[in-house]
A = this chain, B = another copy of it.
Amino acid sequence: MSEKTTDALQTAIDQALKADRPRLAKYLSIETVAAKHLGIEETVSVIEQSLQELGAEVEVWRDIPGSNPFVFGTLPAGPNGNSDKTLLFYNHYDVQPAEPLDEWDSEPFQLTEKNGQYVARGVSDDKGEFMLRLSAVKALQATGGLPCNLKFILEGEEEVGSPHIEPMTKKHGAALAADAIIWETGGKDADENFQVTCGVKGTASFNVTAKSAESDLHSSLAAFVDNAVWRLVQGLSTLRGPKGEVLVDGFNDGVKPLTPTEQAAVDQLPFNEEATRKNFGLKLPLLSDKPAEALINRPTITINGISGGYEGNGLKTVLPKEARAQLDCRLVPGQDPRHVSELVQQQLDKNGFSDLHVSYNQGEPAFRSDLTDSFVQTAVATAHEVYGDAVKLVPNAGGSGPQAPFFEAVGVPIIDVGSTWAGSGAHAPNENVRVSDYVQAARYTARVLQNFGEK
């Protein structure tokens, strides 16, 4: 690739981004909050038209019961269709609620450019990312053609846990067939390293409840009557060691140690304890002396919330009849969400707390691409080309997402790359991306497609 071609590509990217900006603004102006069932059809129309303008064939899948529509697009390499490589882009068109509204400095559903940033709900997660991908495709079409076949799949329920991804991938796996998948999200870490992330942690969410009596009782009866809150507190406390160790038999069965390549990737990840402590206002010692590795490869058990008995102001000397907690586990490859919640029940039973009841809510398994795969290598090499030395290969994110059912259906590596930075505030007020990152991510997207198509 000569300097001349590179310059022509950049000019085309700049032109495409400029031309596409009104469409980006329109897409962001729709309040597509899945949790509120808002704006779904209007958003689907914008996506459909946007893909069609590039020449894509578009299908809107409405055949998964209870699901928001999936939008699926195919766009052949070309102008003359001459690649045997296909890449699938995953994005989602729903966004988080904008609340709390009074913490926004501008209108959440109006694209605002300020201090070198685009600000709007969804500009980082994930509407902006989809639109920059389309601009990158347009730039490629304007400079020699699309170097590979593309597929696009967009869902509208990512922010509510992607409850219909699995039935969709089971039903439409053949249509989704590709040689590699680029996932949503990703970008630069707190030290401005561009991350090529190759997977997600899994989750298992479940409730634990206790019941000791038919009604709340006077606490004088504690002399001989047990108490649901005590049962819950004492049962839960047996599940976790003081440093966050998960004390559930069989919990780690099936988990493999990191491969040498994964371990090497983890070992070069930075962790700034001082900045982390300050940003989050942490009051307690860290639970791990290898926090970067723990985020990637340590399974966890977390009480998300607990309640029981009298929670008002003032005093009430009550003996509570019932108590409940919501927990989640973050999982690594080899762990099954539903099995994990069964193991928790078994452990409580073994520990003398068979009166506590575990009920599984939902979950998704972890996923990690093979870091030695050639597509991962291409993604990393392209990152160095665009971002220089400040590139990190990350085996998987600390967060979760429905990558496992995609891998099951398509069977190819998945990477997360995007335009976010450490201050993007994906689910917070004043969600933003830096304009320079947006441009750079479009370039990265175009160059990855070229390098992938050429191999």
Contact = CB atoms under 8 A, between A and B. Distances in A.
Interface of A: 161, 201, 203, 205, 211-215, 217-227, 229-231, 233-234, 236-237, 240, 242, 244, 280-288, 291, 294-296, 298, 300-312, 315-321, 323, 325-326, 328, 330, 352, 355, 361-362, 397-400
B288 A223 contact: yes
Most B CB contacts (10 A, CB to CB) among A161, A231, A306 go to A306
B223 A295 contact: yes
15 contacts: A203-B317, A212-B283, A213-B282, A214-B281, A218-B398, A220-B295, A222-B301, A223-B295, A229-B303, A229-B325, A230-B240, A233-B236, A233-B306, A234-B242, A302-B317
B320 A304 contact: yes
A19 B287 CA distance: 74
A362 B214 CA distance: 28
A305 B294 contact: no
The interface centre, meaning the residue of A231, A282, A304 with most chain B CB atoms within 10 A of its CB, is A304
Copies of this chain, count: 2
Contacts of A285: 226
Contacts of A223: 244, 287-288, 291, 294-296, 298, 300, 330, 398
A309 B213 CA distance: 25
Contacts of A291: 223-224
B244 A328 contact: no
A226 B287 contact: yes
B205 A303 contact: no
Given A211-B283, A281-B213, A222 B201 contact: no
A417 to B, nearest CB: 19
A280 B229 contact: no
Contacts of A318: 304-305
Contacts of A302: 219, 222, 227, 230, 317, 319
Contacts of A282: 212-213, 225-226
Contact of A315 (B205, B295, B316): B205
Contacts of A201: 220
A11 to B, nearest CB: 39
A213 B282 CA distance: 4
A361 B315 contact: yes
B284 A226 contact: yes
Contacts of A300: 219, 222-223
Given A304-B310, A309-B304, A355-B283, A234 B237 contact: yes
A364 to B, nearest CB: 12
A214 B284 CA distance: 11
Contacts of A244: 222-224, 226, 230
A344 B267 CA distance: 43
Given A242-B234, A300-B219, A212 B284 contact: yes
A266 to B, nearest CB: 12
Given A224-B287, A229-B325, A233-B233, 5 more contacts: A201-B220, A223-B300, A226-B286, A305-B309, A307-B307
A436 to B, nearest CB: 26
Contacts of A296: 223
Nearest to A230: B303
Nearest to A310: B305
Q: Can you list the 3 inter-chain pairs with the closest CB atoms, starting with the nearest?
A: A214-B281, A305-B309, A237-B237
B311 A215 contact: no
A399 B225 contact: no
Contact of A398 (B220, B362, B397, B400): B220
Nearest to A299: B223
B222 A280 contact: no
B309 A316 contact: no
A219 B300 CA distance: 9
B399 A220 contact: yes
Taking each of A201, A280, A399, which has the highest tally of chain B beta carbons within 10 Å of its own beta carbon?
Answer: A280
A330 B213 contact: no
B294 A320 contact: no
